[in-house]
Chains A and B, each alone.
Chain A
């Protein structure tokens, strides 16, 4: 048996209480991340990618209610209700970066100071040390002229530069796990590559684990070791990247791959996926939430809960009729 994974999310279910009823945002979501590995989570908008990340971080709003399952990180139970321990862990052992880095940084505080805030929070450092370490953190993400950039405000930096600052901040305390929620959305293609190369390098160098959330399967295919596909609050497939791209077993994954420009030869070949996500507020959500969009639907899909099948060593699929 190998060592337990760095992060293990097991059968996590989560509802939001809203005025219009309960939103069943996650149901039996499972995935894991090892050290030195990037796991990609892909899926269309509203499939529960961010909610999964927030659940790991303990950053859910008070209307969220965890119905079951567990999240273990380096042996610790993250769902055990321990606010102080969780806060101490955030930013030090698990960090997160977000989409739209410009608004994710405090607009009226020097970026260097913002990194210092994190350093000071997680360790006793003197003012001088903190500044030195903050500049080092900026250097580590290859920000040129980092001593001067320390004094910059977010509005003085480009979007890509801001995302690098975000990464520097997230990595300042050398965490074991980095969660990146659509870190390159809104950046141009070149900057996107720079940011992703940086994350890949950090992972290879420090052996930390990373969770890359994206709706761009092409991007995930390029940078991730394994990919988990989410659909309407379910993890429908989980496989090593090459396996998934070549032998996707779930009809939704197969359609996603077909809809990704890199895989299609011509724009005209781009298959779009008919239908939308089911309304997660419905009381009578079907066992298979992809049912209405699926062309392989058979009777058993409506009648019984979905089985999770292990196709090969680490290729999991949740479907009655995987291919």
Chain B
């Protein structure tokens, strides 16, 4: 908790500087192609960009302190509103991908550790490496090409739900899968699920490798440890040794990389959302960068940083649940 505050201050400064480092002049962009020097200057003044950089920074911090991330030049909406409205879409996709990756990679890693150099072990290392070798958007495009264009199994890759056939649910959590269920609308649930499958798989493929590897390595360490030998010497059954003694201990290192994996996935969203027309914060960030929309870019980076900090808090809490040593340190 103590480290969260300084990192946030650092992030605020860094986001400001980073967004100023973007190429392009927003005043020119927004004044339009027909603008002359005078109207560009007017736009610049109205955007506050004529002020000195320290002054701009002071304004930015002042706004932040009042809960404002500024107004997006492209959408004309407060950046905070834009982001909050789009965040659930990205979160739903990221969580779905993380869950799929965990469900596939953890058992694979465990099995590979229990039977080193078995078929599964080689398979695990092989596929996992191949999956990691392709760029995200390439896999996404390939999946769309095969499953939508060639086979027609997947719906059109245009967002979270096909509004021609289904009704988007009322927002409760912002996660369509949950909201449709809450509304008792199983039709729309299926619609939302269908849209989610391909982007989830494309994203999940990238988390497979690190999770499977970490699981395998930490399981090997745990199973080779002294306390597993003790458990065996005491005749404990194979399942107890494997899960209560082996896996519970391996879970520590697996949890520790989850924060990293999650933010890694959230970052990869930027590309996946482009391919699938996903109305998330990644797509928003890309258009903001193209338009040199300072406020939006700043807001995006800041939010990612806050999420990252929160994520690490959650990981620490989880680690404390698993490991008493962490719990007692504080």
Contact = CB atoms under 8 A, between A and B. Distances in A.
A108 B240 contact: no
Given A103-B225, A104-B227, A155-B325, A95 B233 contact: yes
A108 B322 CA distance: 7
A104 B227 CA distance: 4
Contacts of B233: 57, 59, 90-91, 95-96, 98
B234 A108 contact: no
Contacts of A121: 234-237, 240
A105 interface: yes
B325 A91 contact: no
B229 A117 contact: no
A59 B245 CA distance: 17
A106 interface: yes
Given A87-B237, A91-B236, A155-B325, A108 B231 contact: no
Contacts of B240: 117, 121
26 contacts: A90-B235, A98-B226, A98-B230, A100-B226, A103-B227, A104-B230, A105-B227, A105-B230, A106-B230, A106-B231, A106-B249, A107-B249, A107-B325, A108-B323, A108-B325, A109-B245, A117-B240, A117-B244, A121-B235, A121-B236, A122-B235, A153-B324, A153-B328, A155-B328, A156-B328, A166-B230
- Grouping DSSP codes into helix (H, G, I), strand (E, B) and loop, the B interface class, with mixed when no group exceeds half, is helix
Contact of A103 (B226, B235, B244): B226
Nearest to B322: A108
B248 interface: yes
B51 interface: no
B232 interface: yes
Interface of A: 57, 59, 87-92, 95-96, 98, 100, 103-109, 117-118, 121-122, 153, 155-156, 166, 169-170
A105 B323 CA distance: 14
A118 B227 CA distance: 13
A323 B325 CA distance: 56
Query: Which 6 pairs from chain A and chain B are nearest by CB?
Result: A91-B234, A91-B235, A90-B235, A103-B226, A106-B227, A96-B233
Nearest to B245: A106
Contacts of A156: 328
Contacts of A105: 227, 230
A98 B229 contact: yes
Contacts of B230: 98, 104-106, 166, 169
Given A98-B230, A166-B230, 4 more contacts: A90-B233, A90-B234, A107-B323, A117-B240
Contacts of A92: 235
A291 B249 CA distance: 47
A59 B229 contact: yes
Given A107-B325, A108-B324, A89 B227 contact: no
A106 B252 CA distance: 13
Given A87-B237, A103-B226, A121-B237, A59 B232 contact: yes
Contacts of A166: 230
B248 A117 contact: no
Contact of B248 (A59, A104, A108): A108
A57 B230 CA distance: 11
B324 A88 contact: no
Contacts of A90: 232-235
B232 A108 contact: no
A58 to B, nearest CB: 9
A109 B234 contact: no
Nearest to B234: A91
A153 B229 CA distance: 18
